[in-house]
Amino acid sequence: MISMHTSPLEQPGIGDAGGMNVYIRNVASHLASHGVQVDVFTRATRASQGEIVEVEPGFRVINCIAGPFEGLPKESLPTQLTAFTGSVIAFVRGEVAQRPDGPSGLCARTGAGVYDIIHTHYWLSGQVGWLLRDLWEVPMVHTAHTWAAVKNLGLADGDTPEPESRRICEQQIVDNADRVIVNTQEEADALIEAYDASPERLAIIAPGVDIERFTPGSDRATERARRELGIPLRAKVIAFIGRLQMLKGPHILLRAAAELIRRHPGQNIRVVICGGPSGTGLERPDDLHDLAASLGVSGYVRFLSPRPPEELVTVYQAADIIAVPSFNESFGLVALEAQASGTPVVATRVGGLPLTVAEGVSGVLVDGHDPEVWAHALEQLVLDDALRITMGAAAPAHAATYSWDATVEKMMAAYDRAFGDGTVETPVRIPHGIPMGLA
């Protein structure tokens, strides 16, 4: 796998790390549990990381040097595509030369020192994978996670459009990948419309959720979580979890919550914002604090730093409602984790969220981003305790229909179909006579 711009080991909610990191880590881990050897190549961002990180049996992360460790924004990473690709090639060549007969890096299908398949994540990685696919003649599967043409159709006010150069690069990937994996039928339709994608090469595979980690909490667990987070025990708590940028819509929640607090001062409404600045939010890291102050609700809002999954579950359990006011969301892992934790969701009707949230059963879907409309949607669950509790009780069953095991079984079937297209007939040797490849 290639995830050039962010490592699956990074903390989601910080910088460029988010749902994609959760996705890659879980897919790689579950592939490994199914007996698949997985190496994830990513760009090194700290000298202390080490070149090889053994995450678990069958799953390694390879940190490749390409540009300075720190201070290189995602927008500048295209300048390092050649360096990154060269680093990947050098690593694999070294692996094969050092252990030509060892188990690591051996192709299960040929027994040669090559990987079976390339699976790229995000368009930067897709460009790298496209080159290596043609160099090593192995199939390439691509998961974009977000698409420039789709994002630009639903920009938040103040957001910067994705450049045309990215859309062109994505078009090249769509044209050359053996399989493109999408989360939903809506995403597939968007690719066919915006990128003239071939329907035969699209595979619709929904992500999963860790239902063993994200579970409903007891009343006692909720009280303990609120104490730990400094939230009043008897408050009505609306939480936002994710990267703090305009695209994710946390400002919409603050404006809607301010209206709710004005309408219902006796409801003791509190808002929790859990995440770190990302994207355009990096340019204005104090914007949400300033907005809360200007709305007069600073005393009702608690800002929390990003948390690892084992701690994040307590935020889900401490909340009465999880708000997902995104302007674009290819699937919506936060909404799925919230429901698995027994917390109903109020989300925008965009992207994969209508699939992720069972409308009227485990949550409410909102059309658009008008704070007044959002205030009304949140008001339903804030005031109607019985409805909120009923939705929370139904939410885990809906979330349980999505599992990482099911995702990975469909992923492996997509890999098999890529092989079945006849992309690879015999192992390929590159200069110096060393069998090479990448997965």
> Would the pLDDT of 317 be above 80?
yes
C-alpha dihedral sign at 183, 27, 280, 129: negative
185 belongs to a structural domain:
yes
Q: Check: CB of residue 140 under 8 Å from CB of residue 128.
A: no
Residues 122 and 153 reside in one and the same domain: yes
Total count of domains within the chain:
2
Known binding residue 316? Answer is yes
Q: SS3 breakdown of the chain: % helix, strand, coil, rounded to 5?
A: 45, 15, 35
243 is in an annotated binding site: yes
Are residues 311 and 419 located together in one domain of the fold? no
pLDDT (tens digit per residue) in 353-367 = 999 999 999 999 999
| Residues 173-197, mean pLDDT to the nearest whole number | 95
Q: Same domain, yes or no, for 142 and 129?
A: yes
Q: Give me the half-sphere count of Cα atoms (radius 13 Å) on the Cβ side of residue 314.
A: 17
Whether 428 shows a pLDDT value over 50: the answer reads: no
Q: Residue 418 pLDDT more than 80?
A: yes
Is 164 or 280 the better-scoring residue by pLDDT? Answer: 164
**Residue 329 is assigned to a ligand binding site:** yes
Q: Which residue has the tokens 């890999």?
A: 415
Do 393 and 409 belong to one domain?
A: no
225 and 361 part of one domain: yes
The predicted-structure confidence for 328-339, as pLDDT tens digits, reads as follows: 888 899 999 999
The answer to the question of residue 13 being in a domain is: no
97 is in an annotated binding site: no
In this prediction, residues 180-207 reach a mean pLDDT of 95
| pLDDT greater at residue 423 or residue 233 | 233
Residue 119 confidence (pLDDT) above 60: yes
pLDDT at 85 over 80: yes
- Residue 248 assigned ligand-binding role: yes
Express each pLDDT in 7-27 by its tens digit: 999 887 766 777 899 999 999
- Binding site annotation covers 11? yes
For the cut 80, the answer to whether the pLDDT of residue 98 exceeds it is no
- Residue at 2 is within a domain: no
CATH number at residue 286: 3.40.50.2000
122 is in an annotated binding site: yes
Tell whether 166 is in a known binding site. Answer: yes
Q: Does residue 36 belong to any structural domain of this protein?
A: yes
308 annotated binding-site participant: no
413 is an annotated ligand-binding site residue? no
- Distance, CA of 328 to CA of 187 (rounded, Å): 11
Same domain, 290 and 338: yes
Higher per-residue pLDDT: 438 or 238: 238
Please state which of the ranges 263-267, 368-372, 428-432 shows the lowest mean pLDDT.
428-432
Average pLDDT over residues 340-346: 97
Same-domain check for residues 351 and 431: no
127 is in an annotated binding site: no
Per-residue pLDDT tens for 206-243? 999 999 999 998 888 889 989 988 899 999 999 999 98
Q: Is residue 356 part of a domain?
A: yes
* pLDDT value of residue 218: 87
Q: Annotated binding residue at 18?
A: yes
Q: Are residues 270 and 137 in the same domain?
A: no
What is the H or E stretch that residue 292 is in? helix 287-294
Q: How far is CA 3 from CA 12, 120, 131, 372, 408, in A?
A: 14, 6, 15, 39, 18
Q: Which of 155-169, 389-403, 413-427 has the lowest mean pLDDT?
A: 413-427
12 assigned to a ligand binding site: yes
Q: Same domain, yes or no, for 116 and 194?
A: yes
Task: Determine the pLDDT at residue 425.
Answer: 37
- Residue 17 annotated as binding? yes
The annotation status of 236 as a binding-site residue, yes or no, is no
So what's the pLDDT on residue 219?
86
Which residue range is the domain that position 230 belongs to? 219-399
Please report whether residue 145 resides in a domain: yes
pLDDT computed for residue 367 by the predictor:
97
The single residue listed with the structure tokens 């209508």 is 354
Mean pLDDT (the chain, rounded):
88
| In a domain? residue 311 | yes
The reply to whether 388 and 409 lie within a common domain is: no
Residue 12 counted as domain residue: no
Pair 394, 418 in one domain? no
Please give the share of the chain, as a percent, with pLDDT higher than 90: 70
Asked if residue 307 belongs to a known ligand binding site, the reply is yes
* 157 plus 55 within the same structural domain: yes
